[in-house]
Structure 1
Amino acid sequence: MSDATAPHPFDDALELERLSPGTYIGRTSAPYNNMVGPFGGLTAATFIRAIERHPDRLGDPISLTINFAGPVAEGEFEITTRAVRTNRSNQHWYLELSQNGEIATTATAVFGKRRETWDDDEATAPAAPAPSELELGGFPEFIAWARNYEMRFAAGALSEEKSEDSTITLWVRDTPSRPLDFASLTSIADIFYPRVFQRLGTYVPAGTISLTIHYFATAEDLKTQADSYVLAHAQSRRFHKGYFDQSAELWGSDEKLLATSHQVVYYKV
């Protein structure tokens, strides 16, 4: 029987120790390891959590761009956060993650307050069967971080067969169940395995260089979502000379767009 009072593994992995305002010590988490180093989605989520803990933070996430400059080694790391400008309704941040005095990851973020404005939805959620109609799937056992997510694929499940299409669509949520917040939404934005694996039907060296997330969800939207499944959808547009792109959408259970993401990934074939 699980201990209901114990921290969720995701929150445990995001634990930060404050050294001074804006400077934190964190530690990598074995349950969220990737094939090399920690899961990039967790690193991105750690940046969001660091800003959320800053005493001068204004509002909630609007966008995050994270650049993976080098590998993050297992063990302790330091995150520094700095608000470079605060306006009346938004705030701009610069962040660094370093180990042994060497920068491994940098990021910029925009936080802000949402206002009541004219609204419209041009995007529509991709068609997908209900989660209950899809079998439980996932990634190979050696990809540790994937075991922290319940995945039900409507399209693009990892396969050893080549595909002419890079599109992937799946329902996903944390396991054990956990209410969605901005940190977990950030992590889910990087849930997709490299699109080149799908196209070639095999593993090749690949890794994200830069990831940008745009947030549309408000805190109220996330409260409505609670621990329901997120519908995650992504595809690439071109694989060319060692790099490919990926554009993704994250939809709530009420078919409202929660976030979009865009990334560039290197690969070797």
Structure 2
Amino acid sequence: MSLKSMLEAASRGGTVEITDGWTQGRAIYGGLTGALLLASIKGRLRDAAGDGAGDGADKASPHPLRSFTVSFVGPATTGAVEVHAEVLRVGKNVTQAQATLRQDGAIVATALAAFGKHRESTIVVPPRHPMPQLPEPGTIEPFPYIEKMTPEFYRFLALRQVGGALPFSGAETGDLSGWAQLREAPEEFHEEHLLVLADAWPPATIQMLSGFAPASSLTWTLELVTEIGPDTIPPEAVFAYEATTDASRDGYAHTHAMMWRPDGALTAISRQTITVFG
């Protein structure tokens, strides 16, 4: 199944067949997991709008996504997964929904999504962190896919690292930066595609390890600062990325990252709690 086919299947709910090539280690890549959960939620919202025409259910049509939080409960592997979404509340300004991903009867991931309409406000705070100064994307070779050495999903994403070090290299700091892009541009760029890109980078903290040790995301929240869709983002979009390790102790690291369009507009803020076994 292609990424498009998997997202379309998730939007219908039920069984989705996860194709080979979308793993990191033994588990399905987290960005894909998040995108499938979001696609399921948006599909359920569309169904709800159609089922109740005339009784106000049309309000269930989603506003722009504002926040999306994933809890990675357990590892999911390639093959069949079951995805189910539920609308929690449709308010005047905000719609909230949740989705669950199961495999072999066990919950492997859950997500909460908040959609909010544009509102007039007297509070306007420009982003405090400008886009970092990065070389042009075309001047940097993306990480290659090397069988059994790099994550499988690298064959679908082009990550061009600028700042920071390689994982497990004993670096003194846990920060990194670079460019991220889908290798094959979709027909249209949607919020699901941003989720695929936002989780693509290795956890910034693990470059501080001097040798290999397992690490994985426990929770992940993506906050969208600008509206994402075909009218605002071209299919071949490339995003600047900068991650900072805020703190780490007791086997848990806490990071935040920002994504910008090439024109310097802040697009999203990503926050993660990472488990580190080393």
1:52 to 19, 37, 42: 42
The answer to whether the 8 A contact 2:167-2:208 is kept is no
Matched letter for residue 99 of structure 2: L
Give the corresponding residue for 1:145.
153
Kindly report the root-mean-square deviation, in angstroms, between the aligned alpha carbons of the 2 structures: 2.2
Shift of 1:170: 0.9
Q: Counterpart of 1:30 in 2: which secondary structure? A: coil
The answer to whether the 8 A contact 1:149-1:174 is kept is yes
Deviations 1:131-180 (A, max 9, x none): 13323335653311112111221112525632111111111100123353
Give the corresponding residue for 1:205.
214
Q: Counterpart of 1:95 in 2: which secondary structure? A: strand
Give the corresponding residue for 1:102.
106
Correspondence list, 1:123-162, <5 A: 123=128, 124-138=130-144, 140-142=146-148, 143-158=151-166, 161-162=169-170
Residue 114 (1) aligns with residue 96 (2): no
TM-score (norm: length of structure 1):
0.87
Shift of 1:14: 2.4
The answer to whether the 8 A contact 1:209-1:266 is kept is yes
The answer to whether the 8 A contact 1:225-1:253 is kept is no
The answer to whether the 8 A contact 1:192-1:234 is kept is no
C-alpha separation in 2, matches of 1:207 and 1:251: 24
Matched letter for residue 186 of structure 1: L
Q: Counterpart of 1:88 in 2: which secondary structure? A: coil
TM-score (norm: length of structure 2):
0.85
Structure 2: segments with no counterpart, 5+ residues: 49-60
Residue 245 (1) aligns with residue 238 (2): no
Deviations 1:103-157 (A, max 9, x none): 1111111012224555442331122122133233356533111121112211125
CA gap 1:160/1:262 in 2 versus in 1, 3 angstroms: closer
The answer to whether the 8 A contact 2:243-2:256 is kept is yes
Q: For this pair of structures, how many residues does the alignment match?
A: 259
Residue 64 (1) aligns with residue 68 (2): yes
C-alpha separation in 1, matches of 2:260 and 2:112: 24
Structure 1: segments with no counterpart, 5+ residues: 1-6
C-alpha separation in 1, matches of 2:10 and 2:200: 26
1:29 to 9, 19, 25: 19
CA gap 1:219/1:115 in 2 versus in 1, 3 angstroms: farther
2:181 to 173, 180, 191: 173
C-alpha separation in 2, matches of 1:177 and 1:76: 25
Give the corresponding residue for 1:3.
none
Shift of 1:223: 3.0
The answer to whether the 8 A contact 2:167-2:209 is kept is no
The answer to whether the 8 A contact 1:85-1:93 is kept is yes
2:33 to 21, 38, 43: 43
The answer to whether the 8 A contact 2:180-2:240 is kept is yes
**Which deviates more from structure 2 when the two are superposed, residues 117-126 or residues 54-63?**
117-126
CA gap 1:115/1:140 in 2 versus in 1, 3 angstroms: farther
Shift of 1:198: 0.7
Deviations 1:235-254 (A, max 9, x none): 21222111101101111111
